[in-house]
C-alpha cells in the first residue's frame, strides 16, 4: 500500500478484516507514519526515502530489471498494490512493483492529467483498477452496502478512527491549524479539526 494518511490507515484496518492472513506492506513518507501503519496491522513498512525497488524486491523475492534509459521494473513483485496517493510518481512505482498479472488499485485521486509510462500494463499484463465511492458487496453470505459495512465495523470497534484526528484547534487559531495540517513531518498530523 502506497500512502500512509487517513485513507491508508483505514485501508490497512479494512484489509486486516477482510484478509487477516495476508502479508501487508505500507510505504510511508515519515517514520512516525510507518510506526502507526505497523500499529494498525502492516507487517512491513519502508519509507519514500528508501530505495523502493530494492525494498520491494527484498520483500517479495523479486529482482530489479534495469532497462534502457534508466527504466526499471521488478520481475516478480507484489500480488496487489493499492495506490492511496494517486500521483504520477506513486502510480508509476505501483505499476512497476506489481508482479506479472498482479493488480494495482488506484484509490488516490489526482485531479490533473498524468504523463505515465504504462509499459507494465502491456508487458507484464498488470491490471489497473480504479476505486471510488461505494458498492454492494457480499460479506459473510449477506449483500451489504460498503457504507453499511464500514458503519457496522466502526460500531463494533473493529475500525479505529480516534488516532486519525491528531490535532484540534479553536477557530481563532486557524493559522496554527493550517500550519499543523501542512507540516506533517514536524506536527505529526493526520487530520486537523476545528473545535466550534
Same domain, 100 and 12: yes
190 vs 76: CA distance, rounded Å: 33
Same domain, 165 and 79: no
Same domain, 171 and 124: no
Instruction: Identify whether 126 is part of a domain.
Output: yes
Same domain, 190 and 117: no
- Total number of domains constituting the chain: 2
CB-based contact 3:27 (threshold 8 Å) = yes
pLDDT tens across 74-109, in order? 999 999 999 999 999 999 999 999 999 999 999 999
Same domain, 107 and 29: yes
Range of the domain at 81: 6-137+146-153
pLDDT tens across 105-131, in order? 999 999 999 999 999 999 999 999 999
CB-based contact 25:2 (threshold 8 Å) = no
2 vs 64: CA distance, rounded Å: 19
As a whole-number percent, the residues of the chain with pLDDT over 90 amount to: 92
Instruction: Identify whether 116 is part of a domain.
Output: yes
Instruction: Identify whether 20 is part of a domain.
Output: yes
Same domain, 174 and 96: no
pLDDT tens across 166-182, in order? 999 999 999 999 999 99
Same domain, 129 and 171: no
Same domain, 129 and 165: no
Provide the 10 A C-beta neighbour count for residue 129: 11
pTM over 0.75: yes
Same domain, 122 and 25: yes
In this prediction, residue 44 carries a pLDDT of 98
Instruction: Identify whether 80 is part of a domain.
Output: yes
Same domain, 89 and 178: no
9 vs 7: CA distance, rounded Å: 6
Instruction: Identify whether 35 is part of a domain.
Output: yes
Instruction: Identify whether 74 is part of a domain.
Output: yes
Instruction: Identify whether 1 is part of a domain.
Output: no
pLDDT tens across 27-68, in order? 999 999 999 999 999 999 999 999 999 999 999 999 999 888
Same domain, 96 and 181: no
Same domain, 180 and 113: no
Amino acid at each position: 500500500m502506497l500512502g500512509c494518511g487517513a485513507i491508508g490507515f483505514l485501508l490497512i484496518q479494512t484489509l486486516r478484516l477482510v484478509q487477516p492472513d495476508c502479508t501487508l506492506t505500507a510505504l510511508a513518507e515519515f517514520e512516525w507514519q510507518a510506526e502507526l501503519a505497523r500499529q494498525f496491522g502492516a507487517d512491513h513498512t519502508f519509507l519514500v526515502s528508501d530505495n523502493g525497488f530494492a525494498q520491494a524486491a527484498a520483500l517479495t523475492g523479486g529482482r530489479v530489471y534495469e532497462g534502457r534509459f534508466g527504466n526499471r521494473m521488478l520481475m516478480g513483485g507484489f500480488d496487489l498494490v493499492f495506490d492511496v496517493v494517486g500521483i504520477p510518481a506513486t502510480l508509476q512505482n505501483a505499476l512497476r512493483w506489481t508482479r506479472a498479472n498482479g493488480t494495482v488499485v488506484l484509490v488516490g485521486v489526482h485531479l490533473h492529467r498524468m504523463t505515465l509510462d504504462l509499459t507494465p500494463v502491456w508487458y507484464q499484463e498488470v491490471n489497473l483498477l480504479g476505486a471510488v465511492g461505494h458498492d454492494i458487496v457480499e460479506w459473510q453470505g449477506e449483500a451489504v452496502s460498503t457504507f453499511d459495512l464500514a458503519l457496522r465495523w466502526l460500531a463494533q470497534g473493529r475500525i479505529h478512527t480516534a488516532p486519525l484526528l491528531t490535532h484540534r484547534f479553536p477557530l481563532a487559531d486557524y493559522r496554527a491549524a493550517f500550519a499543523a495540517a501542512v507540516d506533517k513531518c514536524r506536527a505529526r498530523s493526520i487530520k486537523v479539526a476545528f473545535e466550534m
